[in-house]
Amino acid sequence: MFSNLQISRTLVKNPVRMDSYKKSVSNELMQEEWAIIQEAKNNPAKFRPLYNRYYEPIFKYIFRRTTDESLTAEICSKVFLKSLQQLNRYQFKGVPFSAWLYRIASNEVAQHYRNVQKNRVISLEEHQLGDLIDKMEETDHQNYRNALIHALDELKETDVQLIEMRFFEQRPFKEIADILNITESNAKVKTYRILEKLRKIIIAKSQQGQAR
């Protein structure tokens, strides 16, 4: 089981990334974006700076969930069209505009997989899997790696989303919270619970294997 100490180690992972998120979404930038959005509500052509700023990060976000470049371009185009269509409903709540775009992207990806009735893709680097195993305080990487991958397969889509944003995309909790429209503290607690769930799945599977 995790102790509080172990969890807090998880929470402070990747301080560099956390700093860069804080820097890239300063109050100054959020105010600037809000001014652009207000202009774009009346004149969609004014949306261009936000499109240029966020096209690439949103593209990469979708690509990691599809690994198909032309499909990604198609979904990305829908994300920006939807964001323009819904711009009048967007209200500034002290959260970066990118969080709203990621939320739309996440919905569009989910919608795509519902439509085509295929399994969605989870992209991860080998070393990120290793990091996750470290966080779970396991030393037998080789055996635990496969068990962890199969345990991920048992998770709900919403849980997978949190795990991949935190561990496979190294997003700080503040950003994850903004994207999922929950509090930062809630994002941390949810992550803790999902890690616990993963551990339980792995133990259960291992016991089933031994029983056979």
Partner 1 sequence: MKLNNYNINLNPKEPSGQQIEKHMDFDALLGQFADNPPPKAPSKVRWLYYAGGAVAACLIGFMVYTTVISPSGPEMTTTEYLATLPYINPPIPAVQPTFASEKLSATKGGVYEYENGSRLIVPPAAFIDAKGQTVQGDVSIRYREFHDFVDFFLSGIPMEYDSAGIKYQLESAGMVEIYAEQNGQRLNVAPGKKIDVELVSEIVVPAANRGRVPAYNIYRLDTERRNWVYDGVDDISLLEEEDLAESTDNEASIQRKLDGELARIQRIEAKELAAIEATIPKPVAPVRPQRADASAPVFNFSFSEDQIVYSEDVTQEERANIDQAQAALTDLRRQYENTIWQIAASNADFNRQAAAGIDWDDMKLRQLNERDYELTLINGNNEMKVTVNPVLMGEDYDNAMAKFNATFKEYERQLAEREEQLADQKQVLEERLAKERAIAELEFDQQIKALRENGQDVAATDAVIRQKVLNRFRVSNLGVWNCDRPLPPFMVRVKGEFIDDESNEYAHHTAYLVNKDFNTVSRLYTGKGTNVVYSNTADNILWLVTKENKLAVFRPEEFKRINKDKDDYTFVLNVVDKAIETEDDVRRILQF
Of 203, 101, 107, 96, whose CA–CA distance to 158 is shortest?
107
Output 10 or 98, the one with its CB closest to partner 1.
Answer: 98
Of 73, 97, 80, 76, whose CA–CA distance to 24 is shortest?
97
Can you give 69-108 as a three-state secondary structure string? Answer: HHHHHHHHHHHHHHHHHCHHHCCCCCCCHHHHHHHHHHHH
When asked if residue 124 is in the footprint of partner 1 (CB under 8 A), the reply is: yes
Tokens encoding 184:
């930062």
When asked if residue 88 is in the footprint of partner 1 (CB under 8 A), the reply is: yes
Q: Minimal distance in Å, beta carbon 193 to partner 1?
A: 19
- Window of 7-15, 85-93, 180-188, 197-205 that interacts with partner 1 by CB under 8 A: 85-93
- Window of 11-19, 42-50, 177-185, 191-199 that interacts with partner 1 by CB under 8 A: 42-50
How far is it, in rounded angstroms, from Cα 66 to Cα 171?
19
Query: Which residues are at the interface with partner 1 (CB under 8 A)?
Result: 23-25, 28-29, 31-32, 35, 38, 44-45, 47-49, 51-57, 59-60, 63-64, 67, 69-70, 72-74, 76-77, 80-81, 84-88, 119-126, 129, 149-150, 152-154, 160
